Amino acid sequence: MTYKEMNFLSAVVYINNDEKGIMPFLIQLIETLDGNFEKYEIICVNDASSDSSASIVREIAKSKGDGIVSLINMSYPQGLEPSMNAGVDLAIGDFVFEFDYISMDYEPDLIMKVYQQSVNGSDIVAASSKQNRISSKIFYALFNKNANLQYDLQTETFRILSRRAINRIFSMSNTIPYRKALYANCGLKMETVFYNPNHPMVGKKPKIQDQFETAFDALILFTNLAYKITILLAGAMMIATLAGGIYTVVIYFLGIPVAGYTTTMLVITAAFFGVFGILAMVIKYLSVIVRLIFNEQRYIVESVEKISKG
């Protein structure tokens, strides 16, 4: 008889128009959890998909595995972070997997390796590919250099959280705009399991606009990069203004007839560029603060379906 883990396991899966990839991913996930856990649940968060993703989830849940499958239908597209927060809120497991993407470019046994690492004492364990995009490397290098976090961030394929980690996170903040940053700075032990991908990651990729928005919010909230840029722009404007003043005084006393149109326009253009740059950062700061303080509802759910086998 095969030994199965007695801990109750939850797996939260983000879905957004993933009809082409959700079936093989979900079948493989169910087979892995079914073969290793006595009791488990899978929570699929449907971020207002316009395709047949939700129907495929219902079909698989009724025919595969012995675990509980829940389908959270978001009221409208709200993005990865709010949707995953909704799934984690519903999860009741002793340990909770977070699958931000349904593409599985790793062997299924990696899921259990990450789980065992968590059982051995790490409250947060992530799986990270050794092959990442240059843009991701640049972002995390910039983020880690300017953030004062307990652990450096990096690209993660999926992760597992202990119940203690989840409770700690929700005690630290009512809103969770960027989970990875809070996980890395919650004070609990965090580890990463690296793997070599066995094939290119397939499936629908997140929208560049959404990724950019999340990255920009993370840099604003968790680093001092915007402050440094603002100070740099302000300093450059002061130097340009001082240089313009000195130049004006010099040509006045030397009596050099200069029309000065080009120089004047150059100084004005540089000054306005700096002012608008600073104002843009201030406005972004304010928009993030307003969203965090006044938006009490972190996400809006349309319905939750409990799907049973048979």
Separation CA 131–CA 19 (nearest Å): 26
pLDDT at 161: 97
Q: Which residue has the tokens 């927060």?
A: 85
Question: Which of 150 and 283 is assigned the larger pLDDT?
Answer: 150
pLDDT at 99: 96
pLDDT, one tens digit per residue, over 109-133 is 999 999 999 999 899 999 998 888 8
Separation CA 177–CA 290 (nearest Å): 13
Separation CA 231–CA 238 (nearest Å): 10
pLDDT, one tens digit per residue, over 195-238 is 998 876 655 556 666 677 777 777 777 777 777 877 777 777 77
Q: Please, what is the Cα angle at 271 between 222 and 139, to 5 degrees?
A: 25
Put residue 180 in one of left, alpha, beta given phi > 0 → left and psi -120 to 50 → alpha.
alpha
pLDDT, one tens digit per residue, over 240-270 is 767 766 776 676 677 665 566 556 656 676 6
Question: Which of 154 and 176 is assigned the larger pLDDT?
Answer: 154
Q: If 0-12 CB within 10 Å is exposed, 13-18 middle and 19+ buried, where does residue 290 land?
A: exposed
- Between strands 68-74 and 40-46, the pairing is parallel
pLDDT averaged over every residue in the chain = 83
CATH fold for domain 9-204+298-307? Spore Coat Polysaccharide Biosynthesis Protein SpsA; Chain A (3.90.550)
pLDDT at 195: 92
- At residue 186, does pLDDT exceed 70? yes
pTM confidence score: 0.79
pLDDT at 75: 94
Question: Which of 186 and 266 is assigned the larger pLDDT?
Answer: 186
- Between strands 124-129 and 301-307, the pairing is unpaired
- Residue spans per domain, the chain: 9-204+298-307, 224-295
Name beta bridge partners: 158: 99, 127
Cβ neighbours of residue 171 closer than 8 Å, sequence gap 6 or more = none
pLDDT tier, 33 (very low <50, low <70, confident <90, very high otherwise):
very high
- Between strands 158-162 and 124-129, the pairing is antiparallel
Q: Please, what is the Cα angle at 108 between 307 and 126, to 5 degrees?
A: 90
